[in-house]
Structure 1
Amino acid sequence: MDTPEVPENINDVPPSHRSEYIIQRKKEEAEALKQCKANWQIATRKRAINAQENNKKSDNVEIPPKKGAEGKNSRNKPRAPKDNPEAVLIKPVEDRSYTDILKSLKNNVKLEKTEIAIHSIRKTTAGAVLLEIGKGGKKAEFCESIKETLKEIATVKDLRPQATIEIRDLDCLTDEEEVITAIRSATQNPTAEMKVHVTKANSREQCRAFVKMAITDVKSILEKSRIKVGWTICRVKLRADVKRCFKCFGVGHVQANCTGPDRKGQGLCIRCGEKGRKFNECTKPPKCCLCLNEGLIARSWIN
């Protein structure tokens, strides 16, 4: 004999049989819950068995470490600057040419004594001789021998790779001397040369400092990721150097390769974008004339 179907809605049950209907529904719900728990336990056991088998297979497999996961704070550690070759720039006087300087160098300067390895010799856009040299050797003696050889026919400049770092979280009373003292102490280089620009304080009375110095000193600062300036332990990051053209005021190229309009020749100031003043003499707030022409917020950052 078939079991009569139980109505879905209690309103379909006669009032005299509603108590039996409620008891029947509770039994069905309890049976369904029991079956659900049993199915869940079976699935859990299967997953545990599969996990054990996978662990046994992967016991002898070497998992390569994630890139940059050398330490706990590797993600927060600032990236180091690229190593650029050291160089010597030799600029001839007006009545001397590039070939004159190069002939004089090859005939009179002895590389064997200074143990210098020259990687490249090329002419700059200004007509100067640029010698790119490798690491090691007696660079100071090499520069002195060039100066002694060329004397008054050229000027010699020792070019060392540099990079710029940004120091944040400085208090509003921090000055350039305090930053220089902190960096020389952190790098343990009391004679380190650098250019420091401290910004004006923001609404929180905090400021930033941009420091341009030798790459060797920059790397030692970035390895620590923080530096103590005055009372504050400040965050440090490497600042990307963007090429800026002082002819058209654009970015991504320099004046020697510029094909844009000569805004410098028109007498415009690269800081405020107005006529009648030079960048070094400008005291107006920064305003980018390029952004103004494009309808963007006319702000710029020049240091």
Structure 2
Amino acid sequence: MKGLLKEISGRHPEISEIMKGGVTEGQLEYFEKTTKINFRNKDEEKSQLVYILPIDIDKNGVNNMKEVHKLVEDSKRTVQTHGRKKITFIPDDGINKSYVRKILEYVFNKADIEVKLMTARGKDREHSRPWPSKTQAQSQAVIVKKGGRQYADLLKTVKQNIDLGKIGVKVRNIRETARGDLLLNVEGGGEKADSLKKEIAAQLKDVGVSLANNDATVHISDIDPTVTEEEIEEAIYEATQVDRAAPVKVLNMRPTRDGNRIATVRLPKHLAKVLSNRGKLMIGWVACRVRERIAVTRCYRCLEFGHTQNECTGRDRSGECLSCGKMGHKAKDCQTDPFCSSCQEAGHRSDSTRCPKYRRMVEDKAKRRGSFRK
């Protein structure tokens, strides 16, 4: 009764009572605990099942792994019988955590159950974290406009004039944007990024500086017709384990041909990445598919992808029909078969997401984000 086990037993005194009464090694025990919570100004009851997996622990924590494996298998079957979709494992300090993690990966592979492994290092307990996906720490980007400078000169000027230690800011990474501006990805979210933005503006009067848009959009498919917007938002909060003050908003839900619905959700970028990397989100009874929306810029001057008309150096096609590529009429009045001016192929319009050029840009952008799947 030490470490995490002692802390959890303090929250659930029933554990101590069961252990005092005697437990059988290798036989799973459990009890149900119901608490009242207030969510969205409504009183709700939350039911929690606490499982006890008793084994005999040796000093090195390397023996009895077969027994641990058996108990984990038992817990999986029991959780499925109880209709639960989430389970957190809190192993005793005497058990080798790396073995436990491997067992969890094997047993719960392809199971529609969200699994967490809570561990401790030394005297400081780590926060529980989603497994197998790991929620990234929140960050926010500061963009410094290049003006007339080269990227290397701009970066040198900023580094020479800004003391990060003085304002208590840590920069996770630095990169050049597509427009040649300087992007500084700041750890700690909006408050830290805002401090850096103000410091740069105060020290370098001749540069433009702003905060990058920290929102992203995801599409969630296979949602059954009975699910509400509030349930989707709650599922995201539960899956990502973030504070409910984080701005998560369902923008719209629309029906699909199979009778289900697809939702468009706006949320912070780091949460969007967590969900898209997982690929699935449990909402009600269904493991719904999640994909992050990849935005590709398009020029309304040359009708090509990847830049805006302010940066355009190509041919001016702004007077051409978006549908057939010919002059003299608009797409809404077009009577001919579609032809794409961008890829020079028939069968789709210039602004169509079916365009091979558009799809290549989406794939390239997704690969750079690390979220592309075949």
Q: TM-score, normalised by structure 1?
A: 0.47
Instruction: Tell which has more relative contact order, 1 or 2 (C-alpha 8 A, sep 6+).
Output: 1
> Based on CA coordinates, which of the two structures has the bigger radius of gyration?
1
Pick the structure with more strand per residue.
Answer: 2
Whichever structure has more helix as a proportion of its residues is: 1
